[in-house]
Structure 1
């Protein structure tokens, strides 16, 4: 048993480094500002840059005060000065703040995901680090009493084998930051609808290939020795999560029934699985993007402030673990 494994977002927020600076694209939204205010209250965030397109500077300062934020701690970019200039400009300004060293964490606020990702991926001005960008979700599931990592839940539509390698690597990075798995070795389940290799099922054969590649050390963060993550698959969801289900079906592995990480075959299944645990199981959530030059908070505009706060804390934790730029 790993006593260092984080089992709740309360622990994630407590473990997150203090005093990070954040750049928010589309900060002109009460839920976004509330989340940033909570992060400031907990000491995770000390200031940064708030990029807006729907408010004037005076209106923005009033919104900050109403959210409990000290305007002097944040630079305000009211690019539209109340003229609803659109989402593009605040996205590019927030990315520029990170690229120029003014912020440690990038956050998507009340803007379209497509505009946000265009700014992140821009070849000339973006912050892509040469790795595949994928959205990794973390969920505190009440029925399990622990955290579960899922990927990809928001970016890569139908990943090929090379993209699955990147997705798995990003998910393992997050799981290790959370100290999941025995002795810090996360258990990774490659999900499918069945537990046997069947090339007729989309994504099924690739799941088996990823497991073999992980055993050969071809997946960053994986391998049999040291602190490498342990992979198995294809596994159906019940056998990945439930020891009783796995035992009843005679599936014996280090991962079956105890998976810390769930890698889905495509975006449809990942997005639906993630929303199912939130809306049907009452799970708390966080969402980050891996593969960029800094931690990126990516949540839905409809997500509660608590989800956004959890995501900020997770991003801060990832930045500290990767040795990425820290606050001065």
Structure 2
């Protein structure tokens, strides 16, 4: 009687589930969400850093509606850019990391994935920086593009790679949701924290210069041929100042060019900020010019029409009076 002997094989651990269509969709969305979150964080940091420089904000209902529309457009553009960037860069890098590790017979570790990010960033820097430098630009574009591409790719690639090794479609899309919430929370925390730092004085925001009479004395120009000379005795001489500023200051009946003599003195606006009260016979009567720029490079400006339009007529100090 024949006896058959069957050896009992030990259970082998299951490898990662092969990523199918839904898995790659989740990976694509995860990369897009990560890139969008990085873009939102970069915009928040850029906005907060800009508060240290000269800036103006319009007020009123129409301005607030405009800000809301800009925010909506920015969100849409970030989402579209994330989707395109994920398909064009993140997924190819994930595939490159997996393919190159398989070809060399090595395990696809995190270091290997970072090396793939470095290779892609290097290619992007060369393709962008070399033509720019050959066309007369600076070679500093190369390291700058490499740094931006590498730092932008790494979080998105690592999150996307994590999706591809997860089991179950629900878990993969769940990771995309977690990345979205974390990115949104981080941007909100940085935004609120930055505003709090400015509000408490921990970070010094922009403040217009407080110019003395001696600092105001001199010749100011609009860089288009128009000049305004302020003298120490309180007299002023205008020569071919732009008609738009003259009309705004004089009610619309000013001549084509504002030229003449008058007087000036420091005053204060309705909000209490210092300003220059300038009166020139025939074209300006008691108009208030605001101070801008810095102590080293001050400017005088006048709002043309509604300040909500942020349209200014600006004079730069050219030289002091001897």
| Fold shared by both chains (TM-score > 0.5) | no
Q: Given the two structures, how large is their TM-score scaled by the length of structure 2?
A: 0.21
Q: Given the two structures, how large is their TM-score scaled by the length of structure 1?
A: 0.21
More helix by share: 2
Structure number with the bigger relative contact order (C-alpha 8 A, sep ≥ 6) is: 1
Largest Rg, 1 or 2 = 2
